[in-house]
């Protein structure tokens, strides 16, 4: 049977990406100035990373065709986990097949260690955080988005004597680029003898002096803080990870997610090692990203749109109705610019227009986006 190419309307995939991802990216046969995705440093197309992936495949093959805990891990996987632990300054780290799975693996390990009895989760948390929480089989209570008072209220209502809460959130929420109030969450965790978990997939690499994410950004350090993330965004590679102390990471490494899945492909492991090295050794790319974020936000603000003036590389706005947003999205595409018109967790049913700037965008590219958008508003 030959595969039938679906019309874009029938397909769940609106765009066919026909080039490497970069500031210019080819979609459906046309090159666009690309302000989307999560490749905040555009390492996905970095020649050194591609070279590392090729060499690893030539040396070790595609993959090991086994679960790591059953028939063997590889030197590359062990090296990657050392690199992750070194990058985040933790005792140990576990590498997992995706960021999506990191949350599940993390919760299962915390449950085994009796760290919590009930999960209290931000209602706008990523699908994988909510799914991972439900998989534990423990009681899951949602609290209002970033609302510390509501969290307290929910804890008082649901937590019984001697029970411990696990407070769960994204670190950096991907649609509106909001930061979780983790400082307040830690205080509550201390008060109720609980713990905090963040899915920091969007903050790792880009937030904090060393790119360690939201905890570093707020200068927090505590045995009650746990996190997972992805290597597929800022680090330009693929796969998820969990960091932490030796006992916790041992539970992750011997848990169902790692035991029940094949080790990720060698190309991606080698690329991830290189990606971590690049982000660690080149702090200037983080500075470029922050500068570009400020520059873009200044421009967008000059158009009369409300923006949070900070160094986070995402600008999102919602207009009166989805037809207007669709129209602007299309008109920008006609001008050779791609931004997202997206419905995702936190966007609401009508969707939002979302711009992602990277460390590689140039000022003229950002100017062109801002002036083109200005004409359409
Ligand atoms: C907040 C958040 N967590 C987790 C994931 C999943 O990470 P991965 O793509 O590595 O599975 C994503 C999206 O990709 C995300 O946006």
24-34+282-376 to CATH, choices 3.90.1150.10, 3.30.420.40, 3.40.50.1970, 3.90.380.10: 3.90.1150.10
The pLDDT value recorded for residue 5 is 56
How far from the centroid of its chain's Cα atoms is residue 292's Cα? Answer: 19
| pLDDT tens, residue by residue, 189-202 | 999 999 999 999 99
| 175 and 342 Cβ atoms separated by less than 8 Å | yes
The pLDDT value recorded for residue 4 is 56
Q: Is the predicted pLDDT of residue 2 greater than 60, yes or no?
A: no
99 C-beta closer than 6 A to ligand 1 = yes
> How far, in Å, from the CA of 17 to the mean position of ligand 1?
19
Average pLDDT over residues 193-215: 98
What is the rounded average pLDDT for all residues in the chain?
A: 95
> How far, in Å, from the CA of 200 to the mean position of ligand 1?
9
Closest-CA residue to 273 (of 81, 142, 128, 122)? 81
Domain range annotation of the chain: 24-34+282-376, 47-281
Q: Do domains 24-34+282-376 and 47-281 have the same CATH topology?
A: no
- Residue ranges of alpha helices (H) inside 218-346 are 246-254, 256-259, 266-281, 283-302, 322-334
Confidence of residue 1 (pLDDT cuts 50, 70, 90): very low
98 C-beta closer than 6 A to ligand 1 = yes
- C-alpha to C-alpha distances, 160 to 115, 226, 261, nearest whole angstrom: 15, 23, 36
The pLDDT value recorded for residue 10 is 74
> How far, in Å, from the CA of 240 to the mean position of ligand 1?
8
Q: Is 267 helix (H, G, I), strand (E, B) or coil?
A: helix
Taking the CA atoms of residue 12, residue 99, residue 64 and residue 113 in that order, the dihedral angle to the nearest 10 degrees is -140
The pLDDT value recorded for residue 347 is 86
Index of the ligand 1 atom closest to the CA of residue 126: 1
| pLDDT tens, residue by residue, 229-273 | 999 999 999 999 999 999 999 999 999 999 999 999 999 999 999
The pLDDT value recorded for residue 188 is 98
Q: Is the predicted pLDDT of residue 16 greater than 70, yes or no?
A: yes
More confident residue, 8 or 89: 89
230 C-beta closer than 6 A to ligand 1 = yes
Average pLDDT over residues 172-193: 97
- The pTM assigned to this predicted structure is 0.95
The pLDDT value recorded for residue 254 is 96
Index of the ligand 1 atom closest to the CA of residue 238: 10
60 C-beta closer than 6 A to ligand 1 = no
Index of the ligand 1 atom closest to the CA of residue 38: 14
47-281 to CATH, choices 3.90.320.10, 3.40.640.10, 2.20.25.90, 3.40.50.720: 3.40.640.10
The pLDDT value recorded for residue 44 is 98
CA distance 63 to 192: 44
Q: Is the predicted pLDDT of residue 6 greater than 80, yes or no?
A: no
> How far, in Å, from the CA of 232 to the mean position of ligand 1?
8
> How far, in Å, from the CA of 93 to the mean position of ligand 1?
18
| pLDDT tens, residue by residue, 140-162 | 999 999 999 999 999 999 999 99
């Amino acid at each position: 049977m030959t595969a039938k190419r679906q019309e874009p309307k029938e397909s769940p995939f609106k765009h066919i990406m026909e080039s490497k991802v970069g500031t210019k990216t080819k979609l459906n046969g046309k090159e666009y100035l690309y302000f989307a995705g999560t490749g905040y440093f555009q390492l996905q197309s970095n020649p050194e990373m591609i070279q590392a992936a090729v060499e690893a495949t030539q040396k070790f093959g595609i993959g090991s065709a086994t679960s790591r805990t059953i028939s063997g891990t590889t030197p590359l996987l062990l090296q990657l986990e050392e690199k992750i632990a070194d990058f985040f300054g933790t005792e140990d780290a576990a590498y997992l097949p995706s960021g999506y799975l990191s949350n599940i693996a993390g919760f299962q390990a915390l449950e085994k260690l009796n760290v919590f009895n009930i999960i209290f989760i931000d209602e706008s948390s990523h699908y994988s955080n909510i799914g991972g929480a439900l998989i534990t089989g423990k009681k899951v209570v949602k609290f209002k988005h970033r609302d510390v008072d509501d969290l307290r209220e929910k804890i008082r209502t649901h937590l019984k004597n001697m029970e411990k809460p696990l407070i769960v959130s994204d670190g950096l929420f991907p649609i509106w680029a909001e930061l979780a109030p983790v400082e307040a969450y830690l205080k509550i965790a201390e008060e109720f003898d609980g713990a905090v978990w963040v899915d920091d997939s969007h903050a790792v690499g880009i937030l904090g002096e060393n790119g360690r994410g939201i905890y570093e950004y707020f200068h927090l350090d505590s045995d009650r803080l746990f996190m997972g993330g992805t290597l597929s965004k800022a680090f330009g590679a693929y796969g998820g990870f969990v960091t932490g102390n030796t006992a916790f990471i041992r539970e992750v490494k011997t848990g169902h997610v790692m035991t029940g899945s094949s080790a990720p492909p060698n190309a991606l492991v080698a690329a991830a090692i290189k990606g971590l090295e690049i982000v660690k050794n080149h702090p200037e790319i983080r500075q470029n990203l922050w500068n570009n974020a400020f520059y873009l936000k200044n421009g967008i603000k000059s158009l009369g749109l409300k923006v949070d003036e900070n160094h986070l590389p995402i600008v999102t706005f919602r207009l009166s109705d989805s037809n207007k947003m669709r129209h602007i999205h299309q008109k920008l595409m006609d001008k050779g610019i791609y931004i997202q018109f997206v419905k995702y967790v936190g966007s609401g049913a009508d969707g939002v227009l979302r711009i992602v700037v990277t460390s590689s965008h140039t000022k003229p590219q950002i100017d062109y986006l801002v002036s083109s958008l200005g004409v359409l508003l």
